[in-house]
Amino acid sequence: MFVIDSTVRKTLLVVAAFTFGIFVSLIFFTPPSPFPQTTSSMHSSLEHGQEIWSVRRIIEWRPCKWWLQSKPDALPDETNGYIRVDCYGGLNQMRRDFCDGVGIARLLNATLVLPKFEVAAYWNESSGFADVFNVDYFLEQTKGFVRVVKELPAEIASKEPVHVDCSKRKGQFDYVETVLPALLEHRYISITPAISQRRDRYPVYAKAALCQACYSGLRLTETLERKSLELLQAIPKPFLTLHLRFEPDMVAYSQCQYTNLSSSSMEAIETARGERKPWTGETARIWRSRGKCPLTPYETALILQALSIPSNTNIYLAAGDGIMELKGLTSVYRNVFTKSSLLTGEDFKKMHGNTKAALDYYVSINSDSYMATYFGNMDKMVSAMRALKGLFKTLFLSRRAFSVLSSQGITGKKLSEALWQCHKDDFVMGIGSALPECFCDFKL
């Protein structure tokens, strides 16, 4: 048996005590690092945290029973005339205007003419309603809710509609008072719905027509559905759809200024600004604190990490081809896919504008989870359709919270914890789901 001499034993104990003392001193007396916590260290501090989707929700938005399960009121025997809705902008802005137009047509007891999707150079757009949506399906789904015709009667078809400008009206705009007289006089009018209208003041039958048309009646054409399904099947599962908006025109429109962008991004933004100059000084600070400035890909990655979204998450990027500073996201989240990276056929190369946006829309409403850095027409429509399908992993990232917290000098782990808390509260309460009167909150 091996026996340690008492002198040797004492020496070993002294050495062990001395080594332990040095170790303790290093822990307590080493000054903190002068460098801010990086995104990778922030992520490591949260990697065992609770992912945002695992939080228990308190409220869910579901379609109201009054329009989903009830029969529509009988249509009047006679029509007051014909209304065509003229739609402008991107796909979901035009879809919003068209849905409003359905409600207006029913409100005024008018016959709806299939809409005109205006050519918009800004959106690189030229496709029409029938190029995107299944017309026969729409007619079948809206039967009994509103009168719709593919073609006008011969006595009207040769005429151009009299345009009634509603788009820039302010305040409580009344269609019955303002538009109905023109409809009765001319029998064929065109409108672009007013942004400020109060749908909640519509009679139930008009709201029901709007809800039915928008959420049950609009389906992509068979060709677009096939291409969308091909794209959906090509994305590795499960996946998060991220609607990221950081294109030059979006930043220019916001009138926000950014630092630490590449020279090419700064040049692209300045080119897109035109006469729209960025805010400066106190105005710029207030504007940003209100959440008016688009999140950069780097800022988006910070928030995703704060929400404990794993770095190996498959992310489908629902966006155009002009996203700037994308490495700020892909340097952290490397499994990022786009329609351009997954679809290469000639039929895809011929697509643009509305039809490409339709692919993003289809994938977004069918993805495992959805996050948006903006609060635009697409996000509102996707949120509603996902709620209709019972897909509640939907969240809008808070530009306002990020701006306010960052302006207070909060960084690192404290910033992550604060971002987690505000987004958790939103998710728990269903806040941020931009749903019109067609949906009701359901307490869990």
| 281-307 pLDDT, tens digit each | 999 999 999 999 999 999 999 999 999
DSSP reduced 3-state for 346: helix
> Residue 292's pLDDT is what?
95
User: Which carries the bigger pLDDT value, residue 36 or residue 83?
Assistant: 83
Q: Mean pLDDT over residues 53-57, rounded?
A: 94
> Residue 127's pLDDT is what?
65
Q: Residue 115 — pLDDT band, cuts 50, 70, 90?
A: confident
Check whether 21 has a pLDDT greater than 60.
no
Q: What are phi and psi of 147, to 5 degrees?
A: -80, 130
**pLDDT one-digit tens code per residue, 266-278:** 999 999 998 889 9
Check whether 26 has a pLDDT greater than 90.
no
Check whether 48 has a pLDDT greater than 50.
no
- For residues 352 and 224, give the distance between their C-alpha atoms in angstroms, rounded to a whole number: 12
- For residues 239 and 337, give the distance between their C-alpha atoms in angstroms, rounded to a whole number: 10
* Lowest mean pLDDT, pick from 145-149, 190-194, 217-221, 432-436: 432-436
Closest CA to 117 of 138, 141, 103, 96: 96
> Which strands make up the sheet holding 188-192, listed edge to edge?
147-149, 111-117, 82-87, 188-192, 162-165
Q: Would you give the distance in Å from CA 84 to the centre of its chain?
A: 28
| pLDDT over 90 percentage in the chain | 62
Q: Which two tokens stand for residue 44?
A: 């490591």
Q: Mean pLDDT over residues 117-139, rounded?
A: 72
Check whether 225 has a pLDDT greater than 90.
yes
Q: Rounded to the nearest 10 degrees, how much is the dihedral formed by the CA atoms of 71, 72, 74, 80?
A: -170
Q: Mean pLDDT over residues 333-360, rounded?
A: 91
Check whether 171 has a pLDDT greater than 70.
no
- For residues 185 and 187, give the distance between their C-alpha atoms in angstroms, rounded to a whole number: 6
> Residue 433's pLDDT is what?
75
Q: Mean pLDDT over residues 34-38, rounded?
A: 34
Residue 120 DSSP symbol = B
Q: Would you give the distance in Å from CA 434 to the centre of its chain?
A: 10
Q: Residue 131 — pLDDT band, cuts 50, 70, 90?
A: confident
Give 363-427 as a DSSP string: HHHHSSEEEESS-SHHHHHHHHHHHHTT---EEE--HHHHHHHHHTT--HHHHHHHHHHHHHHHH
User: Which carries the bigger pLDDT value, residue 319 or residue 2?
Assistant: 319
Q: Mean pLDDT over residues 234-255, rounded?
A: 96
Q: Residue 192 — pLDDT band, cuts 50, 70, 90?
A: confident
> Residue 40's pLDDT is what?
41
Check whether 39 has a pLDDT greater than 60.
no
Residue 240 bridge partners (DSSP): 315, 369
> Residue 195's pLDDT is what?
65
> Residue 170's pLDDT is what?
60
User: Which carries the bigger pLDDT value, residue 203 or residue 20?
Assistant: 203
> Residue 34's pLDDT is what?
31
> Residue 43's pLDDT is what?
43
Of 38-42, 126-130, 166-170, give the range with the top mean pLDDT: 126-130
Check whether 130 has a pLDDT greater than 90.
no
Q: Are strands 369-372 and 59-63 parallel, antiparallel or unpaired?
A: unpaired
Closest CA to 145 of 200, 192, 80, 207: 207
Neighbours of 425 (CB within 10 A): 13
* Lowest mean pLDDT, pick from 21-30, 303-312, 419-428: 21-30
Report cis status (omega within 30 of 0) of the bond before 161. no
Check whether 97 has a pLDDT greater than 80.
yes
Check whether 94 has a pLDDT greater than 90.
no
Check whether 33 has a pLDDT greater than 60.
no
Q: Residue 194 — pLDDT band, cuts 50, 70, 90?
A: confident
For the chain, give the mean pLDDT: 85
Check whether 394 has a pLDDT greater than 80.
yes
User: Which carries the bigger pLDDT value, residue 19 or residue 412?
Assistant: 412
> Residue 145's pLDDT is what?
96
> Residue 166's pLDDT is what?
82
Q: Residue 200 — pLDDT band, cuts 50, 70, 90?
A: low
| pLDDT over 70 percentage in the chain | 84
| Domains of the chain and any CATH numbers | 52-61+223-246+294-443 (3.40.50), 71-219 (3.40.50)
Of 130-144, 269-283, 300-314, give the range with the top mean pLDDT: 300-314
